[in-house]
Amino acid sequence: MSTLGSIVRFIEGKPAKRERQLAGRAPEAWWKNKWVWIGLGGFFLLALTMAGGAAVAYTYNDKKSFVKMMDGILAALGLQPQTRLIVLAHAGVETALGTAGTAPSGNNFWNISAGTTTKPSSSWTGPVVLGGDQEPDGNGGWKNIVQRWRAYADPVVGARDYLEFLNRATPIPGYAKSYAQAWERAQAGDVMGFVYTLREAGYYTADAAKYLAMMNGQIGLVQQLLVAP
């Protein structure tokens, strides 16, 4: 699929709730639609990357440089500060701010799965990287599995796919619900709502209260790193 095609799908994939709210209103001027600007921001970021633009450098070597790099990418994609903070904290919980697991090699900073080696996901046909993980064994314990993680060409592509992943109005095959409500909570700066709606839709299997505590801890760390020299 072309870059522009992906962006169009992202813009058109607004949550169904939002579409219902807009029903019956006069058509909105395109330049007032925030999704248009988010899509265009992603397009120009990718265009610069593909063209080898010297102004864009997507490299990091520790948590601080990751936070500063990704905050800039998310800002260019149109995210407001309160939403960027939640998205960065989520990367902190899932991949220790891009430093853990397969994140550095696959630019998958939010651990978006492509299924397991025994049950690959039909919703992802792109490249993957393999990594160890655990899942409930059905008897109150955990079992080790080999997870297939989505892999991306660079951090911009990874961030854009994550946002599209959350913004889908319909469930991704293999998931009980869409993550549109979680995305709405992130946009509102509602950390607790984001965490609990993610859990309800099946993004993670850990205890929600513990996940929330980790998110709050990562928010504090991200805030420190953003202002660090």
How many C-beta atoms lie closer than 10 Å to residue 198's C-beta? Answer: 22
**Segment 74-99 mean pLDDT:** 98
The 10s digit of each residue's pLDDT in 101-110 is: 889 999 999 9
Segments making up each domain of the chain, as ranges = 3-105+166-227
**CA dist 61 → 42, 66, 115 (Å):** 23, 7, 28
Whether 8 has a pLDDT exceeding 60, the answer reads no
Q: Residues near 181 by Cβ (< 8 Å), separated by ≥ 6?
A: 15, 17, 197, 201
The 10s digit of each residue's pLDDT in 28-43 is: 554 555 555 555 555 5
Q: Residues near 90 by Cβ (< 8 Å), separated by ≥ 6?
A: 110, 194, 215, 218
Tokens of 143: 């079992």
**Confidence at residue 67, expressed as pLDDT on a 0 to 100 scale:** 98
Q: What is the pTM of this model?
A: 0.71
**Confidence at residue 63, expressed as pLDDT on a 0 to 100 scale:** 98
- What helix, strand, coil percent values describe the chain, rounded to 5? 55, 10, 35
The residues pairing with 120 across neighbouring beta strands, listed in sequence order, are 115
Lowest mean per-residue pLDDT among 20-34, 92-106, 179-193:
20-34
Residue 180: name the closest of 12, 38, 6, 13 by CA.
Answer: 13
- The residue that leads in pLDDT, 208 or 39, is 208
Lowest mean per-residue pLDDT among 33-37, 66-70, 125-129:
33-37
As a residue count, the chain comes to: 229
**Segment 188-205 mean pLDDT:** 94
How many C-beta atoms lie closer than 10 Å to residue 9's C-beta? Answer: 14
Tokens of 82: 């309160």
**Confidence at residue 95, expressed as pLDDT on a 0 to 100 scale:** 96
At 201, which amino acid appears?
A: A
Q: pLDDT over 90 for what percent of the chain?
A: 49
**Confidence at residue 193, expressed as pLDDT on a 0 to 100 scale:** 97
| Strand order from edge to edge, sheet including 128-136 | 113-116, 142-150, 128-136
Residue 72: its H or E element: helix 63-76
Lowest mean per-residue pLDDT among 23-32, 51-60, 105-114, 176-185:
23-32
**Segment 161-167 mean pLDDT:** 93
Whether 10 has a pLDDT exceeding 70, the answer reads no
**Segment 52-74 mean pLDDT:** 82
